[in-house]
Structure 1
Amino acid sequence: MSALTIFVRSLPADASNDRLEEIFSEIGPVKHCFVVKEKGAEKCRGFGYVTYSMEEDAQRAVREVKDYDGQKINVSVLIVNVCLMFPQCSNEDLKQTFAKFGTVLEANIPLKPDGKMRGFAFVQFKNVLEAGKALNAINLKEIKGRQVAVDWAVAKDKFVATQPGAKKEEKVAAEKAAPESDSEEEEKVEEEEEKKKPEAHSKNKYDAANRKPLPSDINQGKTIFIRNLSFDTEEEGLEEVLLQYGELKYIKICLHPDTEHSKGIAFAQFKSKEAAEKCIADAEDESESGGIRVDGRKLNIVAAVSREDAVKLKDKKVKTHTGTRNLYLAREGLIRSGTKAAEGVPAADMAKRTRFEDLKLTKLRDINVFVSKTRLCVHNLPKFVDVKQLRKLCLKAAGGGNVVRITECRVMYDKKPERGQVLGRSLGYGFVQFQEHEHALKTLRYLNNNPDIYGNTKRPIAEFSLEDGKKLKMKEMRQQQVKVCLSSVCVFVMIKMKSNNFLSMVTRIPPPQPQAQTLFHAQTQPQAQTLFQTQPQDQKQGRQYAGFQTTPVLEHVELEDGKKRRKVLALPSHRGPKIR
């Protein structure tokens, strides 16, 4: 049975072959169709088959036909499982086909009592990840020239336990075809009965297989939750690493229900609480060589919690804002017309708010512009408000006290303020920058649209300021250059001062005494000894002697008013050193 045949379910009890053909022939030419009826009666069993001449018509019927005389029906393309009545395919051929995706433990094609194939097969892999890869690769592909459908299987004992009437349906499966159907159609009915059992059990067989309850020991603390697993990690590889901490009851890697791929998380249960605690303690080692690693990835391991606790933790999780532009703050303080917050706001203020919002959106189109977290822009200020009043108001709004720090506060004027001149006319807005984001947010919410500050007609419009990243970088570069220049000047001055101090220390000697000069010129022996004997005394007083030193002689002239001034010496009469 190929993709030309569609399977129709949820048919009413009075459904007939003629009416079914009439409905589906509107899509395209129908090769043949029939409904499956109860044995010895005209009552429909609720399903039937329609075979088209073209595959496009079958696909279109699946999309467009939704009801049978007002009753909703389910239409799907029927693709029978592995090797429907195809004797060339054996268990060994099937095993070789699936072996390239992993280790195949068993491949079995069920047979009827007469030796004919039932039209489906079971393939068991050693690992669930390998089975998932095979499912995605082989599904709707051809094996031995026949297109097959591959899906997850359900354990027979569990299915029989939930379907008490399954055995009865299986016995009469070969007798369900309508009288007008040929032998091929009889096989279709019987094979569909085999397929109907898992379909009735669950719409998603994979979900049904995964509903197996795992041992719960949340209160005992033996189960761990593992994150940051590699998508290629298998349960065997993870088990080898965890066994060094103690014996395990199970390891379960969580798979995505749609892709059948690993989610990167897993659960593992130890037989002892001590082993689980030791594993968690080793995983918390944050050193470069510490922690537990599997397939090159450092695992994040914590104690598992119940599903109810996990939901509570998820609800309590605080949403963190990502990104460096702080765009979530751009809407802080926004008031839309028609909302409750806009009640009582003058029309002029609403027009200003609309204009400011449009301007803000235009500026934010530039990726270099971001929203400051600590700097506020306050519009709609009265003309008499100056910097001192604005600072005082913002300190009060932020709660006051020594904790609040305002690093910048300015009111914009129509001309640049200059020292000694009268300030120009206020433009009605200003900027306030806080040290902490919490204080800025508190101030914004207090000032924005507050009629109690400057009256109902002058409600402040407060918002977080927009900053240009490029301009801030240029400003920072200029400040760095100024710091470098200042530091170089300071170093030069310090070096100059140190050099002057060094020279003064080197050349510092006691001033020459007139008596000593007389003795020197007279070259008398006793007096010369007296001169050199005074040197150690000067050194004891902290003065250093380093040879001869010329001391400038300062002469002063008395003026008529009794004051003194320095005498102006005459210029030298010739160039070069003066020779005496």
Structure 2
Amino acid sequence: MEQTSKWKTTILPSKSNINNEDKIKFSKTAVRKRSRDFAHRQCRIIVRNLPYKVTSKKLQEEFEKCGTIEDINILKRSDGKLVGCAFLQYEKKDQSYKAVTNMNGMIFMGRKLEVCYALPKETYKKMKTETEIKTKETKLDHDEAIETDIKEKIKEDEEYVQDITEKSKELGGIHINEYIKPLKSDRQNKHTEIEEGRTVFLKNVSYDANEDDIKDALVHFGTVEKILINKERVSGHSKGTAFVIFKLKESADMCKKQSLKVQVNNQFIEIVDALKKKEVRDIESRRSEKSGKDSRNLYLLKEGLIMAGSEAAKNVSKTDMAQRLRLEQRCAQMLKNLNRFVSRERLTVHNLPESCTSSSLRTIVQQHTGMNPQECRVMRENNSSFGNPSGKSRGYGFLSFKKHEVALDVLRKLNNNPLVFGKNNRPIVAFSIEDRKIQNIKEQRLLKSRLNNPTYQEKLKKINAKRQERLQIKKQQKKMASEQLAIMPNATLSIQKPRRNENKISKKERKRSILKNIEEFTGEISRQGKIGIRSNRKINTQADAHMERLKAEKKDARKKRVKQEHERNRQLKAARRIKPRPANSAELQRENQYFQETVGKYKEIINQAIVKNKRSKWYKG
């Protein structure tokens, strides 16, 4: 090896050729390098629990707030996927300290970051081996404790069975399985996650989010056992809420504290305590008691809705479904005004043909439902046109009835019925939206007109007289019943009780009788209670789902048509083929005679004309 005056070069001197002065210089440079490396390592940090969609630019933008970054190294696997960990190198120690203190525990792209100083490989491996040994020891202790608990339980069960056998002998040989059944039921794992406080309820979850997306966002709080996304019963689309079950209660508590700070698919989530069904019902009942009844009747908006994945939407055309969703959006805009409400006795009928008049609509209602509406109007334009002196129809009308039950029955029989106007143009029936101010004005006008009308005053007198007569008859019946009770109490009670029960009909039987007439094309059924208006996002997802279904139905129809055409062609080919006649001797003789009479005479002439003279081998023509 050659000696060099400059020690910064790669060629180093051998030990034999180094002088004392050179040794001192070499030791000083080595110490300087080591000190520089040590200071450089102190400025190096590690960032854990990074999202898998992170890039070096986003990391640099976020961590440059603490200081200038020299190098970024995002760790990857052999297949190219991210590990969720990265190394960052700062220029100065103050900058790295600032990053560790400020950025640790910060939520970045929907995940909680873990920032600390990077350790060398040797120290990290030692730390890892020590932790693995400790975990193994704790696992062994835990397994021993579980084994002892199991042995104690088995002993208790054996003692319990012995006591049962002794008791059964005393009582006369009762079967032991009758006593062991409750023991087995106690052993079964009961769902007590809500009582233990390990479950969490998520709100404002994006409709495109999967279980994996939610798990990636909440893993840093603790181990997640199960995720349940709430979905609609018919269509299967998510409702925007979900339940998350953690392994420990502390992780659930930590998750609740980070409400409206965690993101799933770039959307912040609200995290709340999970409640049981009974508790939710109690809360809803209390709210309804405080707020009172639903004076706007918003629950009736659900009546007649046709969901994209339901059986009612099977043969609905694209135009009809688009018009339904458009009307639903319009109703939601109209109901933003708090003075407007949903009527219980009045209906709107859309998708009417141009030739439909108010009289023809009345006849259609009578034919398909058997009910006669009080009001039946087809709305028309004010200006007359050619062929329409009363004005062109706007494609919708109104129907009103005396009772809500009658209007509901008419809606369920007419809505989406393919027999009324055809399969491609089905009637869209719903409860109409009314304005309270306009309704009050109409009622005041009616009262004024009735007070000025003398015939109506005479009717009121007759109605009041009939009411008084009914009240007197009821009072007399009560007196007769009390007198009979005083004379014969047991006999009268035995007679009266069955009469009362015979006339009464239970609520369940009434509901069943109403629901018997419902068919598949009618749509959804409304139930009383607070039901929110659907958002535009849900309506758009319904439209997309219906379009996908229509495409699939068209493909199936084409396949069926092709199959039918192939079958027809096969049948035609089979019919065109000449079937072989049965070989009867009489028929064959007749055919031979006919051939000899017609063609046999000219057979020799034809053969002579066909035969040609043979040519010699010298012929060149």
After TM superposition, the score normalised by the length of structure 2 is: 0.27
More helix by share: 2
After TM superposition, the score normalised by the length of structure 1 is: 0.28
Q: Which has the higher contact order (CA 8 A, sep 6+)?
A: 2
Structure with larger Rg: 1
